Amino acid sequence: MREIIFDTETTGFDPKTGDRLVEIGCVELIDRRETGVTFHAYFNPERDMPAAAEAVHGLSIQFLSDKPLFAARVDELLEFFGDAPLIAHNAAFDFGFVNAELARIGRPALDMARMCCTVQMARKLHPGAKHSLDALCTRYGIDRSHRVKHGALLDAELLAHLYIEMTGGRQIGLGLAASAAPTLSPEAGLVIPRDGARPFREPRPHMASAAELARHAEFVAGLNQPLWLDTV
């Protein structure tokens, strides 16, 4: 199963009041494992950068002034997204900014049904606790010592580690390897390893034999004042 973890940086909190997307970072997961494939882009917001926002992510308008507009890289971004579920921390915020940028250039919005929010997941798993990315990384033992300021790709990578831990950790199933997963033989009704290396063995009997039951009864009869008789 392919999933995309993503994070955004912006000029503020509300695209409806003119705030813009300035950075997006995406990490690809397949079967809850990072593939090493990422997408990262900065965008020229065509406006000033408030000091409060720059203090969070460190992106100045001078740095962003020569970066491409969102429209120039939107096709790359949507191709990377594909039809995969999209996971973000406080996902409504990130979806809101991406969809605002899409609307600005006349492109269809992302389907909100694709949205998975790790904040909502954390609230169900840890009610009453802190649900910031920093707090959850601390809870799950994820190293964030290199996170001095917010950065979309760095935060997406941290969130990928967090999402994996919140959904069962690195080993989701009980199998040790895909090649060792058993298959069924419909004709024989037997479990056969895929590599064919191990022979099938009949299950061991799990009930005591008549001889074993007789020996047990003889042993119990020879006990001197067993404790359970005190309760009879």
Residues catalogued as catalytic: 150
Cβ-count burial 89-109 (b if 16+ within 10 Å, e if not): bbbebbbbbbbbbbeeeeeee
Phi-psi label, residue 141: left if phi above 0, alpha if psi -120 to 50, beta otherwise: left
CA distance 132 to 52: 19
> Is there a contact between 20 and 10 (Cβ–Cβ < 8 Å)?
yes
Yes or no: say if 45 and 24 are a contact pair by the CB < 8 Å rule. no
Q: How far apart are CA 28 and CA 153, in angstroms?
A: 11
What span, in angstroms and rounded, lies between the C-alpha atoms of 5 and 27?
Answer: 5
* In the block, residue with structure tokens 């997408």: 39
Burial letters for 40-58: b for 16+ Cβ neighbours within 10 Å, e otherwise?
ebbbbbeeebeeebbeebe
